[in-house]
Amino acid sequence: MMHFNSRGRVIMQQYVLPFTAIDRSKIAVVGGKGANLGELFNVPGIFVPEGFCITTEAYKRFIASNEAFNEMLNSLERMTIDNIDAIETIGSKIRSHLEKLAIPQEIKAEVSEIWEHTGKHFFYAIRSSATAEDLPGASFAGQQDTYLNISGLDEILIHIRKCWASLFTDRAIIYRIQNGFNHRDVYLAVVVQRMIFPEVAGIMFTADPVSGNRKVVSIDASYGLGEALVSGIVSADLYRVRDGTVINKKIAEKKIAIYGLEDGGTIKRAVAKEKVNRQSIEDQVAVVLAELGQKIEQHFGCPQDIEWCIADDTVFILQSRPITTLYPVPRFFDERLHLLISLGHAQMMTNPIKPLGISILKTFMPLGKNGNQRTESNLMAEAGGRLYIDITKVLDYKLGRKLFPGLISNADEFIGNALREFSSWKTFKIQSGPGKKIELPLIAKIAPFIMKVFKNIVFKESKGITERVDDLIDKQIRVNRDIIYQKVGIDRVQQIQQLLPTMLPFVLKNVGPYIGTGLLTYRLINKLAGLWLNDTEQELRGISKAPVGNVTSEMGLALGDVADIIRGYPSVIEYLKTAADAEFMTGLDGVEGGNKVKTSLNSFLAQYGMRATGEIDITVPRWREDPTQLIGSILSNVESNSAGMHRTQFLQGEVEAKKAVESLIRRLQYTRFGFIKAKIMKHLLVAYRQVIGVREHPKFFIVQNFDIIKKAILEEAEYLVAAKILEKADDVFWLSLDELIEVINSKKADLSIIKKRQEEFKQYIKLSPPRAMTSEGEIITGLQQQQDIPEGALVGSPVSVGLVEGRARVITNLANARLNKGEILVAPFTDPGWTPLFPLAGGLVTEAGGLMTHGAVVAREYGIPAVVGVDGATVKIKDGEMIRIDGRKGYVKILSE
C-alpha cells in the first residue's frame, strides 16, 4: 500500500504514482506521456489537471506468468510487415485475452487509495503511456486508446485494462515491427487525469510542423473537447504566431463539437449557428498560448507538440511531447537569418555521413577557415548526419544574388530556385541591405578563371585536353600519396588536414575552366539552336554522346569487358548470384573460369577500386573493399547485353554525335544569315566536344585522394586496436580528425561516445534531408509550378531531352541492382558507381540532381531522356509501373501499375 504526507506526496509506492512524485526521470515506470505531465505539473505557472499514473510495474504484474499471453507473444515475434492478416488475428486474440484477465488485488487496492485521495467525485480521462513513447526518431503517439469522462472505481479499472490491451492494436504492433521495437521491451503505463470540460481546446506546435520554422508557433483550436480535433473528427481554426504577433490565421467552419456528458461518456453536438464561422479564440489568446508553449519548449529543451484546453479563463495543459518529425537544425551564435543548402543534393549523395566523413569534407572546404587551413570550415554545418553549406555570405553580394542561383541550378535546379526565393524575403533584405559590391581583390582572384573560359570558347585549344589533365592529376596523386606516407601518427593526421583544403583549388585551377567552358557552350548551343531552328531535339540528344576521355564512361566500358568474360562461364554466373562479401574473391578459385574472371576483376579494381556509391563519404566501403557491390551491375549487363555490345554502342554514339553536329550545322546554313550562324554553331560544338571529356575528372581526382587518406587513417586505427584503445578499426569512422589526434595523443578513447553516435546514425538514416533550409529551420523546397505539365504528373528538372515510356525499375541500393534493357531507372541519385547501368536504361528519374550532375551528364552521353530532382520519386513510383518521362518539359507521368 502507499501513504501520503501532508503535502500529498507519495512516501512509498509500487504500482501507482501521483503527478506530484513524477518527473522526466520516471519515464521507465510511467512512460513518456506520464513523465512529461508529472514534470509540467510541478512547474510554477503551468496548470496541469491533477492525476496519477498506473506504473509499468503494474502492467508487468498484470501479465506475469501468463502462459497463454507468452505463447501469443511468441507467435507475434515471428511476424513481419508482410503478414498483415496474421498480425490482425493475433492482435485481436491478445486484446481479448487481456481485457478478460483479472487485475491483481494489490493493484486494485493502490488504485482505490489514490483515487479516493485525488477525488472520488471527479470524472477522469484515462490514457495510455508507453515506455518507448516519444523517443528521438520515434513517436508512439496515438497508437494506444484514450477514454474520456470515466467515473467510479470499477469503470476506471475496466478502462485501465483496456489501455493495457490497446498496446496490441494493429497499428501499434505494425509500428513496432517497422521501427525495430521488440514487443516484450515496450511496457505500458496508464495516465488517470481529472477531466476538464473546456469551452475551447486544441493542439499547439511550438515549431511550425509544415515549414519547420522554429520561430513560428502553430495553434489549432476548436470548440469542446480537444480529443475530437486530435482524431480529426472536427474542423479547427489555425493561428500562426511569431514574436508575439498573429502573422496568419485561417478560420474554419466548425459545425460539430464533442462535449462530456453529466453521467459520463461524450457526445457530438452541433455548434450554435452564430459560432460556426467565428474565431474560437481571440488573437490575444493565441499569443498567450504561444508564450506558454515557448515556456514549455524552453523547459524541455526541444520543440513540443502540446494538447491544451481553456476552462474558466484558465489554460490547462493536457499533454506535451517532442515533435519528432522536424529535421534537425545546426546551431548558430548570431541573430541573423542564414540560408543552408544541401551538399548531398548537389553531390548526388543524400544518405547520412559518419562523423569522420563529415570531418573530412569540412576540412576539405578551403573557405571559412579563419586563417588555419587545418581546421574544419565554418561555412559547412552538420544537420541530421548531412552537410549543409552556409551560402548567406555569397547572397550578401549583389552579383552573388544575380549569378549564383543560376550557377547552382546546374547541380540542382530547385536549390537555385530556393536561393532566388530566399533573396527576395523581406527579412533577408533588411539584414543584408541592397547588396555588397565585389571588391578588387576578389575580382583579381576570379578574373583568371573567367579569362580561361573565354579563351577556351573563342580560340579553342588543340586536341589532347584530356591527356594533359590526366597527366596533371596522376602527378599530383603521386605527390599527395608520398606526402601522407612519409608521416605516421599525429603528424600523418595533421598532414591529411593540411592536404585536404588544397584539393579543390587544384581542381578549380587545372580543370575548372574546361568544365566552365563545357557548361557555357552547352547552354549557348541549346539557346541558339532553339532560337534559330525548330525541332532540334534529335540533334541535341546526339551532341553529348560518347565523349572522348570521360573517366566514368571508360570505367563503365571496362566493367562491360569484365561482364563479357563472365558471360562465357555459366558456373561463375551462378556463383555470383549467391556470393558473400567475406569470401567473394577466394570463392572464385573453385569455380570453372573463376581464375580468369578473378584476374579480370582484379585488373578492374586496380584502376577503379577506389570508387563506390556515395563516394564523397570516406567511410563507405570502396569496391576494392567490397566487390560484391558490382554484382548487380555485372549480372544486369550479362543478362541484357550480348558480348561486345557496350563497345559497339559507344562507337555508335561517336557516329551519332558526329551526325548530330553535322546536321545542326547543315540545317543552319539554309537559314537567313546561315553562313554566320553555322560558323558560330560549329565553333561552339567543336569547343564543347573538346572539353566535355573532363567533366568527371575532378571527382575522380578527389576520390583517389580520399582513398589514399582512408587507407592511411585505417592504418592508424589498426595501431589503436593493437594498443587496445579502439575495439575495431572502423570505430575511427565515428571520430572527427581532431578527435582522432586527441585519441592518438592521450591513448584513450571514449567508446560510449562512439556507441551514442552509432545510435544517432540509425535515426539519421530515417530522415529525409531538405534541399535548402534557414537557420530557423524553415524548409524552402524551390518547387515552382511549371507550365504545360499534365495533371498528376511528378515535376522535376529536365536535363536530357526526349520522351520515353517504359517500365519503372526502382533501385535504391546499387548492390542489389538488376535492370533489364529498356527499363527506366528510378533512383534516389546516381553517382559514378551507377554508370554501368546506363547502357541498359531507357530513361532516368532521380530524386536529386541538376543539369551538370552525374546522372544528367551520363544520360546525355547515352542519349536517354532524364528528369532529375523529382521529390519522393522512389516512393511515389512503384517498381514495375509503366511511366512516361519527358526530358524537355521535366515531368514523370505514371501510366499504369
Annotated catalytic sites, by residue? Answer: 854
Spatial distance between the Cα atoms of 87 and 92, rounded to a whole number of angstroms: 8
Give the contacts of 229 (CB within 8 A, at least 6 positions apart).
Answer: 201, 202, 203, 220, 222, 236
Spatial distance between the Cα atoms of 845 and 856, rounded to a whole number of angstroms: 10
Spatial distance between the Cα atoms of 378 and 399, rounded to a whole number of angstroms: 23
Q: 560 and 705 in contact (C-beta within 8 Å)?
A: no
Give the contacts of 592 (CB within 8 A, at least 6 positions apart).
Answer: 569, 571, 572
Give the closest residue to 699 by CA, choosing from 771, 608, 769. 608
* Other Cβ atoms within 10 Å of 683 Cβ, number: 15
Spatial distance between the Cα atoms of 419 and 326, rounded to a whole number of angstroms: 21
Give the contacts of 607 (CB within 8 A, at least 6 positions apart).
Answer: 555, 558
Spatial distance between the Cα atoms of 542 and 862, rounded to a whole number of angstroms: 8
CA 183 to chain CA centroid, nearest Å: 28
Give the closest residue to 856 by CA, choosing from 846, 600, 27. 846
CA 709 to chain CA centroid, nearest Å: 27
Spatial distance between the Cα atoms of 339 and 232, rounded to a whole number of angstroms: 35
Cell numbers representing residue 513 in the block = 575552366
Q: How far is CA 107 from each of CA 22, 129, 157, 812, 896, rounded to the nearest angstrom?
A: 19, 17, 10, 51, 58
CA 708 to chain CA centroid, nearest Å: 28
Instruction: Characterize the bridge pairing of strands 339-342 and 386-390.
Output: antiparallel
Spatial distance between the Cα atoms of 209 and 726, rounded to a whole number of angstroms: 41
C-alpha neighbours within 13 Å on the C-beta side of residue 349: 23
Q: How far is CA 615 from each of CA 106, 277, 357, 620, 708, rounded to the nearest angstrom?
A: 61, 56, 10, 7, 13
Spatial distance between the Cα atoms of 118 and 322, rounded to a whole number of angstroms: 28
Where are the extended beta strands (E) located within 457-502?
none
- Long-range contacts from 274-278, C-beta under 8 angstroms, 24+ separation: 275/223, 277/251, 277/253, 278/251
Helix locations, 384-464, DSSP H: 392-395, 398-408, 413-423, 426-432, 440-459
Burial 549-565 (b: 16+ CB within 10 A, else e): bbbbbbbbbbbbbbbbb
Read off the amino acid at residue 171: R
Spatial distance between the Cα atoms of 498 and 482, rounded to a whole number of angstroms: 14
Cα angle, residue 37 at apex, residues 31 and 43 outer, rounded to 5°: 135
Cell numbers representing residue 896 in the block = 499504369
Spatial distance between the Cα atoms of 94 and 74, rounded to a whole number of angstroms: 12
Cell numbers representing residue 479 in the block = 605527390
Q: 657 and 543 in contact (C-beta within 8 Å)?
A: yes
Spatial distance between the Cα atoms of 606 and 886, rounded to a whole number of angstroms: 39
Give the closest residue to 627 by CA, choosing from 596, 585, 595, 564. 585
**Is the torsion defined by CA of 150, 152, 155, 161 positive or negative?**
positive
Spatial distance between the Cα atoms of 592 and 584, rounded to a whole number of angstroms: 15
Angle between helices 440-459 and 674-691 (to 10 degrees): 110
Instruction: Characterize the bridge pairing of strands 843-846 and 866-868.
Output: parallel
